Chain A
C-alpha cells in the first residue's frame, strides 16, 4: 500500500469457489461506483475469490480507504473475519500513512428498503402494489440474530411506507419459515423479494421449492405471476442486492460513516 492522497473504496464480498453468481453484485457495484467519480479508485476483494482480503491492500494507493463489507447484515464475516484479515483495530485504523475507515454493510442502511422496493416493483410491472403484499425472504439462522433483525427492520420501513397491502418476513432457516407463507401472508397476491446480496441457490432453488412454486427463475418457462392453489398469485423478484440502487446505498454508508466519525 503506497499513499498518493485521495480516497479509495474497497468493497469486500464473500465470493465462492463454486457459484460464479456470488461475486457478481460486488463487480457490478464496483463498476458503477468507479464511474460515479466519488473515489479515486474502487477495489473489489473476496473471502473465497481473488484478490483476497489479505492481498488487496497491496494494490491500494490512496490515503483514505473506505472499507465496505458488501453484505446485507452483520455476522461472522463482518465482525470477525474482515477485521482480522485487514488487521482492523476499530472503526478507524491507521496503517503507515493510510487510514482505513470500516463502514457498515449496505443491507443495514435505511435506503436498502429502496432496493427491496425496486426489485418488487420490477417483478410487478404494471400491477398496482397497494393490492399486493410484499414477502421479504431472508436466510436467518438460530446462531446469529443479526441477519433476521436486519430483514425485520427493512420490512418495517416498507410497512410504514404504506405502499404495499402488507409486508411480512420469512426465513429459510428459522421461524417463521417461508414454507408456511400461505398462513403468513393474508393478501391474495404477493411479491416475493429474496433478501440476499446475490442470486444463487437460495434465490433460484431453495425459496421457490420451499414455497411450492411450479417454476424457479432459471426455468425458461418462468413467468410472473405464478398461480398457486386457491388462485393466489406469486410474483417472484430478483434478490435485493442485485437492485441497481445498491451502489447508492453503499455511498450512503460511506457518508454515514463520515458523519459518525468526522475526519480529524
Chain B
C-alpha cells in the first residue's frame, strides 16, 4: 500500500477533524492551524509550495524554525481543498517523515536507535557527544524533546498512548541534529569542568 493510501485509510478510521501536531485537517481536505477555524474569512489562503514552506520555516516574529516539531507554527492561514496527494505533501513539509514513521511504527518495522548508538556513530563536531554522561540524558530530553518539541522520543522512552484526537502522532526514532547540538554543548561543558 502506498503511503498516501495508508494516510487516507488512517484518517477514515477516526472522525474529523484530524489533528496532527499544531494543525488540524478538515474533510475536503482543508488544512489550518489547530487554533483557527477554516471557515474564518480572515484566514490567508496560502497557495504554492514556496509560501507554505515559508510559513513552516519561520515563526510569527520571523525567526527561523530549524526544528519542525517545535511548537510555534504561525496561525492565520488555511490550505485547500486538497487532494490526498497534496495533503500528504503538505504534511511532509510540516512534519517531515511523520506519516511514514507512523506507518512503520504501526507495522512494527520502526526500530528506535538508542542515544548511545547515535553518539557512537558521530565523528567531527559531534564526536564529543559520546562523552555525555548517561545521567545527563533525562534532563536534556526534558528540555529539548518534551518541552521543546511535539515529537515523541521513542529512542529514549517507550511511546505513551497517543491522545485520542491525534490522527497522526509525531514520532521520533532517533535523536535529531538539534538534540546532538545541545548534547555537544553539554558534553563540552562537562569535559571543561
Contacts and interface: CB of A to CB of B under 8 A. Distances in A.
Interface of A: 2, 4, 15-20, 27, 31, 47-52, 54-56, 58-59, 61, 76, 80-81, 84
Nearest to A43: B92
A15 B176 CA distance: 13
A55 B174 CA distance: 9
B104 interface: yes
B53 A58 contact: no
B2 A4 contact: yes
A166 B101 CA distance: 52
Interface stretch (B9-17, B23-31, B61-69, B133-141): B61-69
Across the A-B interface, the 8 shortest Cβ-Cβ residue pairs:
A51-B96, A58-B100, A50-B96, A59-B100, A17-B66, A20-B64, A55-B97, A51-B97
Contacts of A55: 96-97, 101, 173-174
A64 to B, nearest CB: 16
Contact of B68 (A18, A19, A48, A50): A50
B147 to A, nearest CB: 18
Contacts of B69: 50
A52 B97 CA distance: 9
Interface residues of B, number: 31
B22 to A, nearest CB: 15
Interface in B99-134: 99-101, 104, 110, 113, 121, 123-124
Contacts of B92: 59
B178 A17 contact: yes
Interface of B: 1-3, 49-50, 53, 57-58, 64, 66-69, 92, 96-97, 99-101, 104, 110, 113, 121, 123-124, 173-174, 176-178, 181
A54 B174 contact: yes
A76 B97 CA distance: 26
A58 B58 contact: no
B177 A84 contact: no
Given A50-B176, A56-B97, A58-B104, A16 B66 contact: yes
A3 to B, nearest CB: 11
Contacts of A31: 49-50
A61 B66 contact: no
B66 A49 contact: yes
Contacts of B124: 76, 81
Contacts of A52: 174, 176-177
B66 to A, nearest CB: 4
Contacts of B173: 55
Contacts of B2: 2, 4, 61
Contacts of A59: 3, 92, 96-97, 99-100
